[in-house]
Amino acid sequence: QAADNPYERGPAPSNSSIEASRGSYATSQTSVSSLLVRGFGGGTIYYPTSTSDGTFGAVVISPGFTAYESSIAWLGPRLASQGFVVFTIDTNTTLDQPASRGDQLLAALDYLTEDSSVRSRVDSSRLGVMGHSMGGGGTLEAAKDRPSLKAAIPLTGWNLDKTWPEVRTPTLIVGADGDTVASVASHSEPFYNSLPSSLDKAYLELRGASHFTPNTSNTTIAKYSISWLKRFIDNDTRYEQFLCPIPSASLTIAEYRGNCPH
Ligand code: 9J3
Ligand code: ZN
């Protein structure tokens, strides 16, 4: 790791390294039973197997309405292999609303850093949140409630609250151009627009995508999520090149907005 950034992990990135199905770290996983925790519904922790690179930043990920952790499981090894501890969770009930999902993301972060079997591998000062749909709505709730979080990424997020000027956490909003459940016009775009203009923020609209695109492996979601988490959880400016200048529209990107440089 570079002397000027004690948090940087892994080799210098390239476009192919952030698009790859796995990063440079071999990963392990451990299940967390819902019977042994309070405040969320258990889940699976994915983490770099080696302890020789010190601690890692961590991210908790919530599924959406009626869904289970299986619906976001692909992100576990995908992100962990790049050098993060990743906790995909179940919620207390699959019908929990976004505010509850936000509380549950924070409870799971607390469990991860204080009680879990991998707590010694986690840097408790470098944490982030992600989620799909109502879990994305919960991601915004968690960031609003805990401004010490370093990164937030709602994926086709859904929330009745459209205004997020309170957020102080660098936030990447991911929407889908063909989403008819949480249309970008009613959800992701107002979320993005309402975040403070001074905040490190970005809006990625996936092209040819639906509300459920975040439920299966997706290279565009992965490469920009990895870059955002690296840039803001690890303060790893090697990843700034993938975020700024603003990526152009393409076969997979309908629109990208943001404030650069970060
Ligand atoms: O988590 C989601 O998929 C939220 C979208 C939804 O079904 O909202 C209807 C109440
Ligand atoms: Zn609001």
Query: Half-sphere exposure of 170 toward its Cβ, with a 13 Å CA cutoff?
Result: 22
Q: What is the pLDDT of residues 103-153, one digit of tens each?
A: 999 999 999 999 999 999 999 999 999 999 999 999 999 999 999 999 999
Q: Ligand 1 atom closest to Cα of 67? A: 1
Ligand closest to CA 137: 1
Counting residues of the chain whose pLDDT is more than 70, the rounded percentage is 99
Instruction: Find the residues whose C-beta lies inside 6 A of ligand 1.
Output: 64-65, 133-134, 158, 181-182
Q: Ligand 1 atom closest to Cα of 136? A: 1
At residue 38 the predicted structure's pLDDT band, cuts being 50, 70 and 90, is very high
Q: What is the pLDDT of residues 66-92, one digit of tens each?
A: 999 999 999 999 999 999 999 999 999
| Residues belonging to the active site | 133, 179, 211
Q: What is the pLDDT of residues 223-248, one digit of tens each?
A: 999 999 999 999 999 999 999 999 99
Q: Ligand 1 atom closest to Cα of 134? A: 1
Q: Are 209 and 179 in contact (CB under 8 A)?
A: yes
If one residue of 68, 91, 158 were mutated to test the ligand 1 pocket, choosing by the most ligand atoms within 8 A of its CB, it would be 158
Instruction: Indicate left, alpha or beta for 83 from its phi (over 0: left) and psi (-120 to 50: alpha).
Output: left
Neighbours of ion ligand 2 (CB under 5 A): 161, 163
Would you state the structure tokens that stand for residue 241, as one six-digit string? 């090149």
Ligand closest to CA 163: 2
Q: How far is the CA of 232 from the centre of ligand 2 (A)?
A: 23
Q: Let me know the angle formed at the C-alpha of 3 by 86 and 148, rounded to the nearest 5 degrees.
A: 40
pTM recorded for the entire structure: 0.98
- C-alpha 228/C-alpha 230 separation (Å) is 5
Per DSSP, which regions of 49-148 are E strands? 56-62, 85-89, 122-132
Q: How far is the CA of 229 from the centre of ligand 1 (A)?
A: 25
